[in-house]
């Protein structure tokens, strides 16, 4: 197992809303990476599977310009 602290934290979208990813936990090749996120609205710390985290839109760096979100994932299913 490896725990990595993100410095600086990364702004991400989760099924529970926007938050700051502060840690990654890698349990090895047989499990998905776990993201530890502080939710922006409530400050609650939650763990999310890597499939449940999307990088927030950042126009300065050209990241997620299409504004992918979890509603898009539901419509594609």
Q: What is the pLDDT of residue 77?
A: 52
Return all residues near 5 (Cβ < 8 A) that are at least 6 apart. Answer: 22, 23
Q: What is the pLDDT of residue 60?
A: 82
Residue 33: CA atoms inside 13 Å, Cβ hemisphere, count? 13
Q: What is the pLDDT of residue 71?
A: 66
Threshold 0.85, pTM exceeds = no
Confirm if 39 and 30 have CB atoms less than 8 A apart: no
33 is written with which tokens?
A: 């990476």
pLDDT-flagged residues of the chain (< 50): none
Q: What is the pLDDT of residue 35?
A: 98
Q: What is the pLDDT of residue 41?
A: 95
For residue 74, report the phi and psi dihedrals to the nearest 5 degrees: -70, -40
Give tens-digit pLDDT for 32-50.
999 999 999 999 999 999 9
């Amino acid at each position: 197992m490896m725990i990595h602290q993100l410095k600086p934290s990364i702004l991400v979208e989760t099924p529970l809303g926007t938050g700051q990813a502060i840690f990654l936990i890698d349990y090895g090749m047989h499990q998905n990476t776990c993201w530890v996120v502080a939710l922006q609205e409530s400050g609650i710390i939650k763990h999310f599977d890597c499939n449940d985290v999307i990088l927030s839109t950042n126009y300065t760096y050209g990241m997620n310009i299409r504004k992918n979100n979890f509603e898009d994932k539901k419509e594609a299913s």
